[in-house]
Amino acid sequence: MNDLGLLKPVCLFEQFFDHKLRLNNAPCDEFAHFSCCTGVISTAVGSAIVSVGATCVICGIKVKVLPSSPLDPASLLICNIEHMSLAQRGQRINPAPSKELQSLAVHLERILVSVALPAIKSQLLIHSERGNGHNAFPSGSYLLHIDNTVVFDDGCLLDACLAAALAALKTASWPRLVAASLPIQNVGSALSTSKVEFKEKVPNELVKLVLSEWPMALSFAVVPRAPPNASLEAIFQPSRSECLLWDTDASACRLVVDSCGRVVDFTMFGGLASGLWRHLGVNDGSESTIGSLLRRIVVRAIEYASLVRQRLIADT
């Protein structure tokens, strides 16, 4: 094959993206289909399955008991994200956790602790049996494990994982425990060095978390158009196949907004994003194409967050 033959696929892709940016002929600002179902894992205290487009994520919550109360509230909540075998094309069976998923888990944990559950520590304390409610000195705490399993990965992972985690947290409930001191004659013979034991409160009472906020994530990509237009186009919730085709030409981003429409988190990854970096933080009073594009993205993110939030509240 000569050099001209090697260039043909590149030329075809350039011609393809000149008139079509999405593989499924969907409008650039169209949201992916969203669905949610709770109570899907009987052995978890709270669970949910969420689909965003073709991406499917299952979230389950486990509760453990700590005989002490950590000073850092973030240490009471641990997020984990893993791929199931063959969750995406080209993936090996039983792959090692990728850096992308580890980074995404840290990102998810930060959003939950700082936005959705800023007062998580006060809700996870275990008090003494003789204590006077929440005014008593805590004798232990609950530790929440939020495990997200990606059944199928077609992009928009933060959109799906955050929604699944919120739905699972909202429906989570478990018996409230109290700490009782062990008798003195039993302390020396106890299997552990702890001098307290935890038992269910009488009468029975359930612990249910109260979410302070419902932050929602929206993934999008900014794709440069070919000359003579040479403009930037925003693609909302692109699939993984579309992101792979754009490669480094697209600037993939994630935007998280709360119920008041405030942007609480913004992340860029993937492409160089040179078209955005030059204009973020510039406020000279003049109207620019990138400025209007960013405002349009934020408006659409608020619209999407409102729709998904209503679905989650109705389903939980």
For 267-290, the pLDDT digits (tens) are: 887 555 555 555 554 454 545 567
pLDDT tens-digit readout, 91-123: 666 666 688 899 999 999 999 999 999 989 889
| pLDDT of 1 | 43
Is the CB of residue 243 less than 8 Å from the CB of residue 268? Answer: no
Query: Rounded to an integer, what distance in angstroms lies between the CA atom of residue 162 and that of residue 252?
Result: 18
Q: What is the CA 27 to chain-centroid distance, rounded?
A: 25
Within the chain, residue ranges assigned H as helices are: 3-19, 99-111, 120-123, 157-171, 184-187, 240-246, 274-277, 289-315
Comma-separated ranges of CATH 3.30.230.70 domains in the chain: 34-208
Tell me what pLDDT residue 268 has: 82
Q: What's the pTM?
A: 0.84
CATH 3.30.230.70 given to domain 34-208: yes
How many residues would you count in the chain?
316
Q: Is 176 exposed, middle or buried (0-12, 13-18, 19+ CB in 10 A)?
A: middle
Q: What's the CA gap between 154 and 287, in Å, rounded?
A: 35
Tens digit of pLDDT at every position of the chain (316 positions): 445 445 445 555 555 555 667 777 788 889 999 999 999 999 999 999 999 999 999 999 999 998 877 767 678 999 999 988 766 666 666 666 688 899 999 999 999 999 999 989 889 998 887 765 555 677 789 999 999 999 999 989 999 999 999 999 999 999 999 887 766 555 455 445 556 788 888 788 899 999 999 999 999 988 877 666 667 788 899 988 887 776 556 778 899 999 999 999 998 875 555 555 555 544 545 455 677 888 899 999 999 999 999 999 998 8
